[in-house]
A and B are shown apart, each in its own frame.
Chain A
């Protein structure tokens, strides 16, 4: 397939991730949008089209809240589309924003979203409502138990241990200390993690992401605009996305097409994105990976699915510090989803943090010399996976 128009991220905006009682939903979205435009050296009038990133508005308590946000983000009268693929939303929204440019129809696209997950204490109840009312809703299936079931499969398949999961938490929190926007951060010990109560075996409290509120935005520009503006750019060199069926039980047993204890969907999406970006061996060619991993077990699954190590090796390598700062390939230098999770936007936050790395603008959590970064997002029953490959040079 011939590539028609190349596009790059030239502006990134993120709010701090915490409870945010001081702003309402649209004000948060506006803050991120203006910050992204500011970095790109553009004004709201320069935006040709808007893509809004928002997962269930049940958390915010305002159905179709993106329509309320139109005025605050300068989108009145403009083309405007909201994308919603559960947790993968931010990654999907990025890809839809990119296709606006890749189609040749638009030059400057704002992708923005906000979430106020802390507006309701009933987050897990709402996340129970995503399941089929006939077959699954009655069982306390939600994102935590869903991840717990994955961890159980991994333990059986590869002998993944609770200690390996705890190492993911400890290292993520430590990395997050460099990120002024991260919700959770600090010097945890493995023993502290292992003595926190079980939430859903084998996941303990510290193995789970927080409920964060916040907003994020990126400005995607066509290559013509990038060359006119002469600003740092994170080129969108590869996009892949794969959806699976909803039932977890389909991904188990001898006749399954994908295994629930692996992130096969991400493996497929990444292969697609790598092929577009011309990446043959990710473990040597990728410098940074912002992996959407709301639970500790997911980072272990993610590094394997992304081809950074062999199957079953992820837990051990993370525990040995292989993916920490100072290494050849750093995962979640921002602290990742385990430290900040404004659900409807988190996938976009991963893209923001990956873009900042490649643009050299990640401040205290900059990985020196980062030129190729990967950002992923996962949603639904771990069934939607997106993968975006960014580079300091276009492919």
Chain B
């Protein structure tokens, strides 16, 4: 695929109970923020892609209210609803098509006022799933249950990884609740704490870069891929995320890179199990070793050293938020030049998106 440049970005998260804000206003700030970073105005944008979720926002056709605040007044704007990273996917395809030169992708997650479990119950089909109620955390626990049994993983390993993430997040690990079960074998402290958040990125084609400069050097999306697994849990391989394996392969192939070319990997860590299954599926940890092959300073590639959802995980827009954290760190050099960013969505890893990023646009000669 043709590389797509990211020239501006913005993200913020906050605790809903601490700051009350109108959704449209935070969306405006994110859109303005990303445009400002790029040194662009609303007039420079050809298209906007929004990613948001009606029931989490508490309003059907949520983009009705957020279209104008995201800068889309009388512009081409489309909205996707499964994953915040889908906004980057659709935005990138638009740029690659040649019909759009600049696209702004925006996503948010203001779910602190939302009855989350009730909403998640409504995602279950009413005939065979809803009465049993295996919503996301419960489904994650089913994966975890299969995983620990298949690979002989002990509870201590789950706890150790959780404690490391809480410590890195600046929370005293002894205060993390590793006693109360959410759904066995997972306890409260194994899950990232939820916060509200918003994120936005500006995508441009390489032809735009030939005509004008931006405030800072672009970061390139060299490859991206996405995919979805079966809805029913029994039809997925429990304890592993096979769709992510394929998605990773496709993203690397599009970037004309190999797994060994990756210098860093940042994955979705909604829970320690999400993190473990992701790094194993991507191939940077052997099966069953995902909990211990993360966060090691001397690891090659560096896995999960740049972002940490346990500092606060903005549910729906966590993928785009993670991307922005990575872009920031690639821009200031704290993350190396080529890596993979991942996000998952849906019930316990039903869907996945992976992006291969690089500071260089050029393709390697030996591919």
Question: Is there an interface contact between A85 and B228, defined as CB atoms closer than 8 Å?
Answer: no
Question: Is there an interface contact between A63 and B55, defined as CB atoms closer than 8 Å?
Answer: yes
Closest to B2 in A: A104
Q: Is B81 an interface residue (CB 8 A)?
A: yes
CB-defined interface of B12-33 with A at 8 Å, one 1/0 digit per residue?
0000000000000000000000
How far does the alpha carbon of A370 sit from the alpha carbon of B235 in the complex, in Å? 46
Q: Is A200 an interface residue (CB 8 A)?
A: no
Given contacts A85-B79, A130-B59, contact A77 B227 (CB under 8 A): yes
Closest to A269 in B: B76
Closest to A93 in B: B78
Given contacts A77-B229, A243-B74, contact A96 B61 (CB under 8 A): no
Q: Is A201 an interface residue (CB 8 A)?
A: no
- Tell me which residues from 93 to 147 in chain A have a Cβ below 8 Å from any Cβ of chain B: 95-96, 99-100, 102-105, 126-127, 129-133
Q: Is A245 an interface residue (CB 8 A)?
A: yes
Question: Is there an interface contact between A84 and B79, defined as CB atoms closer than 8 Å?
Answer: yes
Interface window among B120-128, B212-220, B273-281: B120-128
Question: Is there an interface contact between B228 and A84, defined as CB atoms closer than 8 Å?
Answer: no
Closest to B246 in A: A77
Question: Is there an interface contact between A380 and B67, defined as CB atoms closer than 8 Å?
Answer: yes
Question: Is there an interface contact between B76 and A242, defined as CB atoms closer than 8 Å?
Answer: yes
How far does the alpha carbon of A276 sit from the alpha carbon of B111 in the complex, in Å? 40
Interface window among B94-102, B148-156, B286-294: B94-102
Question: Is there an interface contact between B228 and A80, defined as CB atoms closer than 8 Å?
Answer: yes
Question: Which of B63, B230, B242 contacts A85, CB < 8 Å?
Answer: B63
Question: Is there an interface contact between A102 and B123, defined as CB atoms closer than 8 Å?
Answer: no
CB-defined interface of B202-213 with A at 8 Å, one 1/0 digit per residue?
000000000000
Question: Is there an interface contact between B125 and A68, defined as CB atoms closer than 8 Å?
Answer: yes
Question: Which of A24, A62, A68, A383 contacts B67, CB < 8 Å?
Answer: A383
Interface window among A53-61, A212-220, A279-287: A53-61
Given contacts A58-B54, A80-B226, contact A243 B72 (CB under 8 A): yes
Given contacts A67-B228, A70-B230, contact A243 B76 (CB under 8 A): yes
The listed residue with most B CB atoms (<10 A of its CB), out of A61, A131, A383, is: A383
Question: Is there an interface contact between A83 and B80, defined as CB atoms closer than 8 Å?
Answer: yes
Question: Is there an interface contact between B98 and A245, defined as CB atoms closer than 8 Å?
Answer: no
Given contacts A62-B122, A68-B231, A243-B77, contact A126 B68 (CB under 8 A): no
Contacts of B246 in A (CB 8 A): 77
Question: Which of A71, A83, A84 contacts B231, CB < 8 Å?
Answer: A71
Count of chain A to chain B residue pairs whose CB atoms are closer than 8 Å in the complex: 195
Q: Is the interface of B mostly helix, strand, loop or mixed?
A: mixed
Distance to closest chain A CB from B131 (angstroms): 14
Closest to A247 in B: B68
Given contacts A67-B123, A83-B81, A99-B93, contact A241 B235 (CB under 8 A): no
Contacts of B92 in A (CB 8 A): 103
Q: Is B185 an interface residue (CB 8 A)?
A: no
Given contacts A81-B89, A86-B61, contact A242 B82 (CB under 8 A): no
Q: Is B351 an interface residue (CB 8 A)?
A: yes
Closest to B232 in A: A71
Question: Is there an interface contact between A86 and B64, defined as CB atoms closer than 8 Å?
Answer: yes
Question: Is there an interface contact between B74 and A257, defined as CB atoms closer than 8 Å?
Answer: yes
Q: What interface size band does chain A fall in?
A: 35 or more
How far does the alpha carbon of A127 sit from the alpha carbon of B54 in the complex, in Å? 13
Closest to B83 in A: A81
How far does the alpha carbon of A132 sit from the alpha carbon of B24 in the complex, in Å? 11
Interface window among A1-9, A226-234, A332-340: A1-9
CB-defined interface of A8-35 with B at 8 Å, one 1/0 digit per residue?
0000000000000000100000000000
How far does the alpha carbon of A268 sit from the alpha carbon of B346 in the complex, in Å? 36
Distance to closest chain A CB from B85 (angstroms): 10
Distance to closest chain A CB from B355 (angstroms): 13
Distance to closest chain B CB from A35 (angstroms): 22
Contacts of A43 in B (CB 8 A): none
Question: Is there an interface contact between A63 and B68, defined as CB atoms closer than 8 Å?
Answer: no
Contacts of A246 in B (CB 8 A): 64-65, 67-68
Question: Is there an interface contact between B78 and A85, defined as CB atoms closer than 8 Å?
Answer: yes
How far does the alpha carbon of A56 sit from the alpha carbon of B57 in the complex, in Å? 12
Q: Is A76 an interface residue (CB 8 A)?
A: yes
Q: Is A258 an interface residue (CB 8 A)?
A: yes
Question: Is there an interface contact between B347 and A81, defined as CB atoms closer than 8 Å?
Answer: no
Question: Is there an interface contact between B119 and A82, defined as CB atoms closer than 8 Å?
Answer: no
Closest to B86 in A: A81
Contacts of A268 in B (CB 8 A): 74
Question: Is there an interface contact between A129 and B59, defined as CB atoms closer than 8 Å?
Answer: yes
The listed residue with most A CB atoms (<10 A of its CB), out of B119, B125, B242, is: B125
Q: Is A376 an interface residue (CB 8 A)?
A: no
Distance to closest chain B CB from A182 (angstroms): 26
- Tell me which residues from 345 to 395 in chain A have a Cβ below 8 Å from any Cβ of chain B: 379-381, 383-384
Q: Is B90 an interface residue (CB 8 A)?
A: yes
Question: Is there an interface contact between B351 and A80, defined as CB atoms closer than 8 Å?
Answer: yes
Given contacts A58-B54, A67-B347, A102-B99, contact A379 B61 (CB under 8 A): yes
Question: Is there an interface contact between B96 and A130, defined as CB atoms closer than 8 Å?
Answer: no
How far does the alpha carbon of A290 sit from the alpha carbon of B134 in the complex, in Å? 43
Q: Is B75 an interface residue (CB 8 A)?
A: yes
Distance to closest chain B CB from A238 (angstroms): 10
How far does the alpha carbon of A33 sit from the alpha carbon of B275 in the complex, in Å? 35
Question: Is there an interface contact between A61 and B126, defined as CB atoms closer than 8 Å?
Answer: yes
Q: Is A240 an interface residue (CB 8 A)?
A: yes
Question: Which of A69, A86, A105, A272 contacts B96, CB < 8 Å?
Answer: A105
Given contacts A126-B60, A130-B60, contact A104 B126 (CB under 8 A): no
Question: Is there an interface contact between B227 and A78, defined as CB atoms closer than 8 Å?
Answer: yes
Q: Is B1 an interface residue (CB 8 A)?
A: yes
Question: Is there an interface contact between B64 and A383, defined as CB atoms closer than 8 Å?
Answer: yes
Interchain residue pairs A-B with the least CB separation, the first 9: A245-B68, A102-B97, A103-B96, A243-B77, A103-B93, A80-B228, A56-B60, A86-B61, A380-B64
Task: Provide 7 A-B residue pairs closer than 8 Å at the C-beta atoms, listed in order of the A residue.
Answer: A62-B123, A71-B230, A77-B242, A79-B225, A81-B80, A95-B78, A131-B59
Q: Given A95-B78, A242-B74, output 13 extra A-B contacts at Cβ < 8 Å.
A: A68-B125, A78-B227, A103-B1, A105-B1, A126-B60, A131-B59, A131-B64, A245-B68, A245-B73, A268-B74, A379-B61, A380-B63, A383-B67
Q: Which B residues are within 8 Å of any A CB, using their own CB?
A: 1-2, 48, 54-55, 58-61, 63-65, 67-68, 72-82, 86, 89-90, 92-94, 96-99, 101, 119-120, 122-127, 225-232, 235, 242-243, 246, 254, 346-347, 350-351
